[in-house]
Amino acid sequence: MSELVVGDVAPDFELEGDGGNRVSLSALKGKPVVVYFYPKDDTPGCTKEAIAFTEQSDAFAKLGVTIIGLSPDTAAKHDKFIAKHNLAIRLGADTEKKVAEAYGVWVEKSMYGKKYMGVERTTFLVGADGKIAEVWRKVKVPGHADAVLEAARAL
């Protein structure tokens, strides 16, 4: 899959989500959406990112923006993650990594010289028209939710 860029139509998805719900991009058609991919529930960086989006969730809601976090974890793990950290965002279980592949974020990574496949922390801001308005790749968590909120305000 080639890398998605600003102006591309965001690939649709429908996944099992937290709380026994489904998460779907098409269900939010006509509304802006933050779709952020993260490697794993309850790891330090992923937890900080989810908490940062939760802290800004009211500001996003006032703009009519829904936040959806996607990882390869199961919906049951998402439920525990949400409960443990009192998260106020929706999470989707991309257990087959098909959505991560469609968005070009299922990539080869390397740690201590060992290569493996994993999710590259990436955020997509999808406009109400269903097109990608902004992309953040290889996200560094500090300040990221604020940057996404500023971009959402500019929509």
Which helix (H) or strand (E) segment is 19 a member of?
Answer: none
Q: Give dist(CA 65, CA 63) in Å, integer.
A: 5
Instruction: Please list the active-site residues.
Output: 46
Could you give the CA distance from residue 79 to residue 67 in angstroms, rounded to a whole number?
16
Question: Which of 13, 73, 14 is CA-nearest to residue 47?
Answer: 73
- Whole-angstrom Cα distance, residue 51 to residue 145? 9
Tell me how far apart the alpha carbons of residues 91 and 82 are, in angstroms, rounded to a whole number: 9
